[in-house]
Amino acid sequence: MGALRRLRRELIVAALMLGLPLLLLTLVRELFVLQVLTFVFIFAIYAQSWNLAAHSGQFSLGHATFLGLGSYASIIAASRLGLAPAVALFVGPILPALAGFAIGALCRRLREAYFGMVTFGCTAIVQVLVVEQFGWLTNRWDGLDAPRLAPEGLPVERVAVLNYVISLALMVATYLVVAAIIRSRIGLAFVAIHDNETVAAAAGVSVVRYRLLAMGVAGYIGGVAGALNGHTLTRHISPGVFGLEDSIWPVLYSIAGGLGTPEGPILGTLLVRVFWEWALRRIGGFDSLILIGLMLALVVTALPRGIYPVFARATAALGARLTPNSVKQP
Amino acid sequence: MSLLAVRRVSKRFGGLQALSEIDFDIGPGEIVGLIGPNGAGKSTLINAVTGVYPPDAGTIHFDGHELTGLAADRIARLGVGRTFQIPQPFGSLSCLENVVVGLLFAGKVASVEAAAAEARAILEFVGLGDKAALAPGSLTIVDLRKLELARALGTGARLLLLDEINTGLTAAEITEAIRLIERVKQRGTAILMVEHLVRVIMGACERIIVLDFGRKIAEGTPDEIARDPAVIRAYLGGQKGGGDAGR
Amino acid sequence: MVLDAGTLLRILLWGLVSGSVYMLLATGITLIFGVMKVVNFAHGELMMTGAFVTFILSHAFGLNPYVGVFVSMAAVGVLGIVIERVGFRRLRGTAKINEIFFSIALILILQNALARIFVPRFREYVQIKTPYATEVLDLGLITLRYDFVILLVLAWATLLGLWVVLYRTGLGRDVRGTSQNRTAAMLMGIRVERVDMLTFGIGAALGALAGSLYGIINPFGPYAGTLPAIKAFAVIILGGLGSVRGAVVGGLLYGIVESVATFFLGGSWRDAIAFVLLIVVLLTRPQGLFREGA
């Protein structure tokens, strides 16, 4: 079925993804560029997480739950439980993974608009819980400071490079993992569920089990992004993370890069973020967001079948092809 | 020993009693027709058997397992397959992949490669061999119905529930469809087919069950049914209701 | 927490007032959904646009806000018509998820367009000042702000007007017909595109009214529309998508429940209550409490 061909293609893409930024690293040492790209790497992981859930038809509008819980859990594990940040980075996301299972279970019969509303609502509820019920642990609205991922004593430039490389490595690793999932029978189940749940069930796919799996894995990956962000770039976490903004960005990144592919979120995050950094300085934050909104509106109305076919044709032209026996359409 | 045993199954939707005390058996390898005027409850019955929704009362047993109350995917894995009246393929997948899904998840095929090979064989069997790589969006209605059948076959079903698989076909296409169904039966699969077309029912079915207003009003061989006064009344006494409420 | 009669009355009064705002919001959203089967997540932004227009008319031109609301309703109504024609109409027939994406685009555009004008000039929040802000009716147990009375009158008069339109005019008949059965409506010769457009306009206008009234009794900013809108969504799911009756009753009830709950549970739970309710409802009665239909 061409699975081997896909694997080879993914490895090539991964190598490029790893190699080009490393090459860039040798040429550029400007702190600002490093930080922007580190942000791209981290949030590409976050977008990847949203995209995976979307692959199974679960379009979450409350993904910030995973980002925030991952940050909080990791930071608390590192500062309160004494775990090394590098370890906490992978332990913390277990919390959002569990949250993913819970939310997935809660919403297992909901689609589209209902699903979006409830996931958004869950984020609001989580925010209240974090501030009120768990305020003794989370320091309420002030938030928590995060221990640094990089070892003590390193100069600022070294830290930036380290953050850059670690984030890049994690992004590529996430890419390979997600690509493997999408390529596997699990990915097939996801697409079947996305297309038609009733028919998927009639074909033997356990809809609930796979929906939960998608949300749980998405929760873990999103949590890793949050934890990484906390320990490297922001060095802090506060309840503001549970707002609408951080739930909208991964949607934008994924749409920009093309839904349904493992490369899409990475490309999309890069495009949107670079545009954002450029636009922010030229026309200011508000206008940039208006522009992004206009572009999104344009893309959605002009390409109603989604921008994926455009992207697929483009990548097909570049020689990267999906399985020879599949023509994926949105 | 019957393959499918439906005992006193009832289902209500709000104010409408869609199924009332439905009772029948299907033996291994039989082809049974299910007919009745519009709104008689035929599709409702199929949905109840395949687990789309549970019956309000009664039991359904398949090969010794109790189906009542099981999830639809579990029922599919036990060996009950179905087609949908309006073909609903997986639009994002190719025809081949459409069949692979059933093979992997209900048919319990171990590897994707093995599933792909078997899927190809099934597509050949139904006459879609050359369209394996295409997406369903480009198929004709005839081919879509074949794909529905192929997908259901992929689940390895020992009982196939076909919901009006011949609607919209030309006479020649129907002849071909009947031959296809015969070949399916020869593989040992039992079939319950919902049908409107007299030709198909009389030609292909060994036994016929007749529903009207959610009740079984007759059961027998095609000849017996053709002469049954209750059946004639149900059909010729005026087509009941325009809607498909509760089907 | 001492709960004397005066406090109770105050809580209920606030519940009635805020409930009337929710009711208007919910009615707008449910009308749009009933006719077009579209969920517009950006309704809160339409609400804020309305609030903002009324504010500008009052602040910059000295127009009495209670007159300004009508201008605001008209303006946002037209905006709604444009949005429907340029956006949602194009998306009809495509995957439903596109509507959600388009709504997100609208949120981005409207929120930031408002913020762009708003934030540099004003502080974080403003409030629409009315000529009656300090006038009250002393009823012994409680003092009743004039503004509350006018708000209630306006809200309910509008509702009455809507009822008249829906049940006594040709347009209303077309709206109800399209909402119940779009195909049948088309077959009967109803121009459903026109109905879509006008319904969206009406829904947006109702949102603008809700926003303006909200802005009179609450401080607001460009981002303040999201939460009320989400609550309104919870309300219409509770009341039945497409059911105006459900939206009205649900909105009022919710306003009162929220007012009571805030008093006992504290402010931070105020917003989460809507979602808890929403989740409970979706788990138990996904089809809402009322049947669909206007």
Contacts of B23 (CB under 8 A, 6+ apart): B6, B7, B8, B9, B216
Most confident of B109-118, B162-171, B217-226, C202-211: C202-211
Q: How confident is the model at residue A321 (pLDDT cuts 50, 70, 90)?
A: very low
For residues B91 and B65, membership in a common domain is answered with no
Query: Is residue A245 over pLDDT 60?
Result: yes
Quick check: B201 and B178 in contact, CB under 8 A? no
Q: For position A166, what pLDDT does the model report?
A: 95
Query: Is residue C293 over pLDDT 70?
Result: no
Q: For position A315, what pLDDT does the model report?
A: 47
Q: For position A269, what pLDDT does the model report?
A: 95
Handedness of CA C173, C178, C180, C181 (dihedral sign): positive
Interchain pair B73, A199: CB under 8 A? no
Mean pLDDT score, A240-265: 90
Please classify residue A304 by burial: count the beta carbons closer than 10 Å to its beta carbon, then call 0-12 exposed, 13-18 middle and 19+ buried. middle
Range of the domain at B9: 1-73+159-180+192-247
Quick check: A146 and A236 in contact, CB under 8 A? yes
Mean pLDDT score, C278-286: 70
Q: How confident is the model at residue B178 (pLDDT cuts 50, 70, 90)?
A: confident
Contacts of C275 in chain A (CB under 8 A): 118, 121-122, 124-125
Interchain pair A202, B132: CB under 8 A? no
Q: How confident is the model at residue C73 (pLDDT cuts 50, 70, 90)?
A: very high
Interchain pair A195, B84: CB under 8 A? no
More confident residue, A49 or B223: A49
Query: Is residue A76 over pLDDT 80?
Result: yes
If you average pLDDT over every residue of chain C, what do you get?
87
For residues B54 and B27, membership in a common domain is answered with yes
Percent of chain B having pLDDT more than 90?
Answer: 48
Strand partners, A237: A144
Q: What's the CATH code of the domain at B55?
A: 3.40.50.300
ipTM over 0.95: no
- Domain for residue B47, yes or no? yes
Question: What pTM was estimated for this model as a whole?
Answer: 0.89
In DSSP notation, C212-281 reads HHHHHHS-B-TTTTHHHHHHHHHHHHHH-TT-HHHHHHHHHHHHHHHHHHHHHH-THHHHHHHHHHHHHH
For residues B69 and B110, membership in a common domain is answered with no
Q: How confident is the model at residue A2 (pLDDT cuts 50, 70, 90)?
A: low
Q: For position B19, what pLDDT does the model report?
A: 92
pLDDT digits over A159-194, tens only? 999 999 999 999 999 999 999 999 889 999 999 999
Contacts of A128 in chain C (CB under 8 A): 268-269, 271-272
Query: Is residue A320 over pLDDT 50?
Result: no
Query: C5-125+139-284, what's its fold?
Result: ABC transporter involved in vitamin B12 uptake, BtuC (1.10.3470)
Q: How close A284 gets to chain C, by Cα (Å)?
A: 9
- Number of domains into which chain B is organized: 2
Percent of chain A having pLDDT more than 70?
Answer: 91
For residues B175 and B244, membership in a common domain is answered with yes
Q: For position A130, what pLDDT does the model report?
A: 92
For residues B95 and B141, membership in a common domain is answered with yes
Query: Is residue A323 over pLDDT 70?
Result: no
Tell me which residues of chain A have a C-beta less than 8 Å from any C-beta of chain C.
59, 61, 106, 109-110, 112-114, 116-118, 120-122, 124-125, 127-128, 131-132, 244, 248, 251-252, 255, 284-287, 289-290, 292-294, 296-297, 300-301, 304-306, 330
Q: For position A47, what pLDDT does the model report?
A: 97
Q: What is the DSSP letter of B216?
A: E
For residues B58 and B88, membership in a common domain is answered with no
Q: For position A73, what pLDDT does the model report?
A: 96
Quick check: B121 and B112 in contact, CB under 8 A? no
Lowest-pLDDT range of C175-189, C195-209, C254-268: C254-268
For residues B44 and B151, membership in a common domain is answered with no
Q: For position C289, what pLDDT does the model report?
A: 44
Q: For position B226, what pLDDT does the model report?
A: 84
For residues B64 and B163, membership in a common domain is answered with yes
Tokens of B201: 């029912």
Q: For position C212, what pLDDT does the model report?
A: 95
- Domain for residue B185, yes or no? no
pLDDT digits over B115-165, tens only? 989 999 999 999 898 988 888 888 998 899 999 999 999 999 999 999 988
CA B58 to chain centre: 20
Query: Is residue B25 over pLDDT 80?
Result: yes
A274: part of which helix (H) or strand (E)? helix A264-302
**Nearest to B91, CA basis, from A309, C92, A328, A52:** A328
Q: For position B208, what pLDDT does the model report?
A: 92
For residues B123 and B198, membership in a common domain is answered with no
Percent of chain C having pLDDT more than 70?
Answer: 95
Chains touching chain B through at least 3 C-beta pairs below 8 angstroms are: A
Q: For position C140, what pLDDT does the model report?
A: 72
Q: How confident is the model at residue A330 (pLDDT cuts 50, 70, 90)?
A: very low
Site of tokens 């296809």: B180
Query: Is residue A7 over pLDDT 50?
Result: yes
Q: For position C92, what pLDDT does the model report?
A: 86
Mean pLDDT score, A25-38: 90
pLDDT digits over B196-219, tens only? 877 788 888 899 999 988 899 989
Domain assignments of chain C as residue spans, ordered by start: 5-125+139-284
Q: For position A190, what pLDDT does the model report?
A: 95
Interchain pair A203, B106: CB under 8 A? yes
Contacts of A185 in chain B (CB under 8 A): 104-105, 112
For residues B171 and B209, membership in a common domain is answered with yes
Residue among A199, A200, A325 whose CB faces B84 most closely: A199
Q: For position A304, what pLDDT does the model report?
A: 54
Percent of chain C having pLDDT more than 90?
Answer: 51
Query: Is residue A98 over pLDDT 50?
Result: yes
Query: Is residue C202 over pLDDT 90?
Result: yes
C-alpha pair distances (Å), A249 with each of A46, A215, A265, B27, B62: 9, 18, 11, 57, 49
Q: For position C290, what pLDDT does the model report?
A: 44
pLDDT digits over C17-36, tens only? 999 999 999 999 999 999 99
Q: For position A4, what pLDDT does the model report?
A: 73
